[in-house]
Amino acid sequence: MVDRLLMRGNEAIGEAAIHAGCRYYFGYPITPQSELIAYMAKRLLKIEGATFVQSESELAAINMVYGAAAAGGRVMTSSSSPGISLKQEGISYITCAELPCVIVNIMRGGPGLGSIQPAQGDYFQATKGGGHGDYHLIVLAPSTVQELADLTIKAFDLSDKYRNPAMILGDGLLGQMMEPVEFKEYDINSIPSKESWALGSSHGREARTIVPFNLDAGEMEKINNRLKQKYIDMQKEAECEVVNMDNPDIIVVAYGIVARIVKTAIQKAKKDGINIGLLRPITLYPFPSAVIRENVHKAKKILVTEMSMGQMVEDVELAACGKAEISFYGRTGGVVISPVEILEEVKKLLK
Amino acid sequence: MTEDIIIFTGSFGSGKTEIAINQSLAMLQKKERVILVDLDIVNPYFRTRDKREKLAEIGVEVIAPEGEFALADLPLISPEIKGSIQDTNRVLFIDVGGDEIGAKALASFYTVLKDTGYQLNMVINPYRPFTRNSEQIEVMLKDIESFSRLKINGLISNPNLEKQTDLNVIRKGHEIIRESAARLNLPIKYLTIEKSIYQKIGQQEFNEKIVLIQRFMELPWEEPETERNINKNGREPKD
């Protein structure tokens, strides 16, 4: 048996979840993340006490997640863009009920049924709530297959810590590509106990209920205040990779797979005597505003690039507080940005 | 046994497509007409059909779903495949989708293939999740055989961790394939090593034949070597 594995992104998420003690998975297949549900089926069915269900729909899956989370299980669901839209009602309910779970979105071209190629058009949906009401998900944006695995484990931990759903926001390319992965030691006994709040047998204790509502306006406001406090506390979890920030001519801000493409552009630009700095948000919520704010003054020009029409760019603008000139370059529909395109855009801005 | 119908099967992500493309191009040096069938009903990305135009230009005919369905995530099987199997004036490579699910598509050609004969190879990378040891490899092989209704008659050893591949990775992985070959009583047809890695580790002695391959399915942040690779390997484009 070999220790390192060559894994597809979707498989790495599945293995990481199992490694982190996830024993409940509910989902419905959709390209380009179907390998994840297939992987969970193969693996979980062989683990005693684990549950895998390919549900009849995305709505059913997210409500199964809701139930398993209320019972105190480490639980995950996954889908791709249109399927994530279907799950939004359930996600809003789970957040109101303050339950931990991990939701994976391997994004594809949108809107609508869109295309099956990679995209990043669900940033707003992921980071600003997505469903109804005042809430946020913890949103993590990996850019390698190894990071997909590492951040999946982290998503479970953060989700438990704040009793709030966490989302892995990847794209089709990251889900489909293969890279070597290693799984570090993880102590399942370190998972925080859920006995003080989870449902189950009420034998020998008061019966409990977990509900996503309170019909008394004042009491419902208290829930909102409690959620708000959590989002304030969460800000300390913000993470951002800072690359090549020694006297850059221009700073590019990108997340996920696009950040990797930017890294190739950085190397190409060096040959032309251009120094490109890169800020790569790893957490999209909480957004690493402080790191962005501390760095934007280091270059005259800032370029935000995404596989969308411009979504994260709004958070960069807020973080920069008008202290920098911010431009945007994006491709959509499933078209993947090339390093050459980014370099051309950089040259245009530096003219 | 026929030498001119060569089928690649194996677990999902074992390297079938890359090996099929490489072998088709190498065959162009020997044979006039080379056909590569993309029978992948599983993968939505990184398929032979993505390189179809370029391969056609060099002289490899690619059979894959066409037109509006080429990009659909539908399990389509091209109607030309059966004809290409019955045609004898060609060398045919068939790139099958991964796992037993992918191999299921082959079963639809069982009645033709049992008459023509075939080389059915199982490509194995022991660094992939469900073929990590000889027990798992045997399970996968039996599943593929039962779903495809065909018999696997050789193993192709493709031990790699992509860019992290080194001599130790190849040796350790190849040893698992040797164990499998002994357990299953099947020959190892060859050991594949990526050309750039082979250049790094220097010439190595293995009991099995070594086939050097080049990657065609690049990622957007990698240097686009594909066109150069194809031109180097293939025949001069006809005018």
Owning domain of residue A64: 5-236
Tell me the pLDDT tens digit for each residue of A142-187. 999 999 999 999 999 999 999 999 999 999 999 999 999 999 999 9
What sign for the dihedral angle of Cα B196, B197, B199, B204?
A: negative
The beta-carbon neighbor of A32 closest among B13, B45, B133 is B45
Whether A203 and A252 share a structural domain: no
Tell me the pLDDT tens digit for each residue of A35-53. 999 999 999 999 999 999 9
User: CB–CB of A6 and B73 under 8 A?
Assistant: no
**Measured between CB atoms, does B12 come within 8 Å of chain A?**
yes
B142-155: buried (b, 16+ CB within 10 Å) or exposed (e) per residue? ebbbebbbbebeeb
- DSSP strand E in chain A: where? 5-8, 24-27, 51-54, 75-79, 102-107, 138-140, 166-171, 178-181, 240-243, 250-253, 276-281, 283-285, 301-306, 325-330
Min CA distance, A207 vs chain B (Å)? 44
Residue B125 included in any domain: yes
Whether A282 and A144 share a structural domain: no
Residue of B nearest to A175 (CA): B45
Whether A210 and A245 share a structural domain: no
Q: In what order do the strands lie in the sheet with A283-285?
A: A51-54, A24-27, A75-79, A102-107, A166-171, A138-140, A283-285
What's chain A's average pLDDT?
96
Mean of pLDDT values over A190-204: 92
Whether A9 and A123 share a structural domain: yes
User: CB–CB of B132 and A2 under 8 A?
Assistant: yes
Query: How many structural domains comprise chain B?
Result: 1
Name the token pair of A90. 């359930």
Q: Do A122 and A186 meet the contact criterion of CB atoms below 8 Å apart?
A: no
pLDDT at residue B238 in the model: 39
User: CB–CB of B161 and A180 under 8 A?
Assistant: yes
Query: How many structural domains comprise chain A?
Result: 2
Count how many pairs of residues, chain A against chain B, have C-beta atoms within 8 Å.
Answer: 73
User: CB–CB of A2 and B127 under 8 A?
Assistant: yes
Q: Which of A189, A213, A236 is the last residue of a domain?
A: A236
pLDDT at residue A98 in the model: 98
Q: Do A167 and A50 meet the contact criterion of CB atoms below 8 Å apart?
A: no
Residue B239 included in any domain: no
**Measured between CB atoms, does B158 come within 8 Å of chain A?**
no
Query: Considering only CB atoms, which chain A residues are within 8 Å of B46?
Result: 176-177
Mean of pLDDT values over A269-294: 97
Whether A218 and A276 share a structural domain: no
User: CB–CB of A6 and B127 under 8 A?
Assistant: yes
Question: Inter-axis angle of helices A81-96 and A58-70, to 10 degrees?
Answer: 30
Q: Do A212 and A62 meet the contact criterion of CB atoms below 8 Å apart?
A: no
Residue B200 included in any domain: yes
Averages of pLDDT over runs of 10 residues in chain B (239 residues) are: 91 95 95 93 83 89 83 81 91 94 93 94 97 97 97 97 94 97 98 94 88 89 55 44
Q: Do A148 and A174 meet the contact criterion of CB atoms below 8 Å apart?
A: yes
Whether A177 and A211 share a structural domain: yes
Q: What is the CATH number of the domain that holds B19?
A: 3.40.50.300
The beta-carbon neighbor of B162 closest among A6, A11, A264 is A6
Burial label, B62 (beta-carbon count in 10 A; 0-12, 13-18, 19+): buried
Q: What is the CATH number of the domain that holds A258?
A: 3.40.50.920
Whether A100 and A181 share a structural domain: yes
Mean of pLDDT values over A78-106: 98
Min CA distance, B183 vs chain A (Å)? 16
For residue B136, list its beta bridge partners: none
Name the token pair of B126. 């022991």
Q: Which of A179, A202, A236 is the last residue of a domain?
A: A236
Residue B164 included in any domain: yes
Spatial separation of the C-alpha atoms in residues B73 and B7, rounded to whole Å: 23
Query: Where does residue B120 fall: left (phi above 0), alpha (psi -120 to 50 degrees), or beta otherwise?
Result: beta
Whether A176 and A253 share a structural domain: no
CA distances from A281 to A241, A253, A254, A312, B215 (A): 6, 8, 7, 10, 31
Q: Which of A186, A201, A236 is the last residue of a domain?
A: A236
Residue of A nearest to B126 (CA): A2
The beta-carbon neighbor of A31 closest among B44, B130, B219 is B44
Residue B223 included in any domain: no
User: CB–CB of B219 and A1 under 8 A?
Assistant: no
Residue B227 included in any domain: no
Whether A65 and A206 share a structural domain: yes
Mean of pLDDT values over A96-112: 98
Tell me the pLDDT tens digit for each residue of A212-245. 999 999 999 999 999 999 999 999 999 999 999 9
Q: What is the CATH number of the domain that holds A144?
A: 3.40.50.970
Name the token pair of B116. 């023509």
Whether A231 and A100 share a structural domain: yes
Q: Do A125 and A85 meet the contact criterion of CB atoms below 8 Å apart?
A: yes
Whether A221 and A269 share a structural domain: no
Min CA distance, A246 vs chain B (Å)? 23
Spatial separation of the C-alpha atoms in residues B30 and B28, rounded to whole Å: 5
**Measured between CB atoms, does B218 come within 8 Å of chain A?**
no
Owning domain of residue B152: 5-217
Whether A101 and A232 share a structural domain: yes
Residue B238 included in any domain: no
DSSP label at residue A305: E
- DSSP strand E in A50-142: where? 51-54, 75-79, 102-107, 138-140
